[in-house]
Structure 1
Amino acid sequence: MSTATARYAGQLRTEAQHVASGTTIHTDAPVDNHGRGEAFSPTDLVSAALGSCMMTIMGIVAERSSLDLTGVTFEVTKHMASEPRRIAEIEVSFRMPAGLSPKDRTVLENAARTCPVALSLNPEIRQSVQFSYEG
């Protein structure tokens, strides 16, 4: 079974549908590449997927240790290179609960950095990941 199907909607936009759930994602080319920037660009999705994957893997590890990560957030910033046009760097900044022990912090940070998306990206894409622990 396919993971997703997609169609070109015209004007540099696509509609992709997740086969199992029916969820739809729209993309638009970014303003700096002939689009309107009215939806995620494909490279935005790659960047968001990195942060989401890291957060999901941390959640799996946290559940095993009865840790509650509800409310953890991340911000992601994508940096593009021009020749050739590609993602050069993805910065992910997590805001984590302050009450985590040093051991739990280490385990969670390692889990994040070894998520499947992080391990699948081209090694030329810099992954700058930061964790801040706030009360």
Structure 2
Amino acid sequence: MSTATAHYLGNLRTEAIHSASGTTIFTDAPVDNHGKGESFSPTDLVSTALGTCMMTIMGIVAERHHLNLTGVSFEVSKHMMAEPRRIAQIDVHFRLPAVLITKDRTLLENAARTCPVAISLNPEIRQQVQFSYDL
């Protein structure tokens, strides 16, 4: 079974459907690349995939060690390179509970940095990951 199917809708917009769940996402070319910027661009999805993958792996580790990560959040920013047009850097800033002890912080940070998306991205894409413990 396929992971997803997608259709080109015209005007630089696509619709992708997750095969297992039927969930639909749309992409749109960004304004700086001839699009309307009305939805995630494909490179936005790559950047967001990095953050959500890191958060998911931290969640798996947290469950294993009985840590509560409810309310953890992240903000992601991508930086594009002009020639050739590609992602040059992804910045991910996590906000986690202040009550986490040093040992647990290290465990979670290592888990995040070794998530499948992080280790699958081209090494030329810089990954700047920051963890703030202020929740």
Q: Same fold (TM over 0.5)?
A: yes
TM norm structure 2:
0.99
User: What is residue 43 of structure 1 aligned with on the other side?
Assistant: 43
Structure 2: gaps (5+ residues): none
Matched, 1:76 2:45: no
Structure 1: gaps (5+ residues): none
In 1, the alpha carbon distance for the partners of 2:93 and 2:26 equals 25
User: What is residue 102 of structure 1 aligned with on the other side?
Assistant: 102
TM norm structure 1:
0.99
**What amino acid is the match of 1:33?**
N
What is the aligned length? 135
Matches within 5 A, 1:117-128: 117-128=117-128
**What amino acid is the match of 2:122?**
N
Q: Partner of 2:63: helix, strand, or coil?
A: helix
User: Once superposed, which parts of structure 1, at least 4 consecutive aligned residues long, lie more than 6 Å away?
Assistant: none
In 2, the alpha carbon distance for the partners of 1:115 and 1:60 equals 11
User: What is residue 20 of structure 1 aligned with on the other side?
Assistant: 20
| Percent of aligned pairs sharing the same letter | 79
Could you tell me how far 1:42 is from its partner in structure 2? 0.1
In 2, the alpha carbon distance for the partners of 1:68 and 1:15 equals 35
**What amino acid is the match of 2:50?**
L
Could you tell me how far 1:38 is from its partner in structure 2? 0.2
Aligned CA-pair RMSD? 0.4
Could you tell me how far 1:64 is from its partner in structure 2? 0.3
Give deviations 1:11-61, integer Å, cap 9, x for gaps: 000000000000001000000000000000000000000000000000000
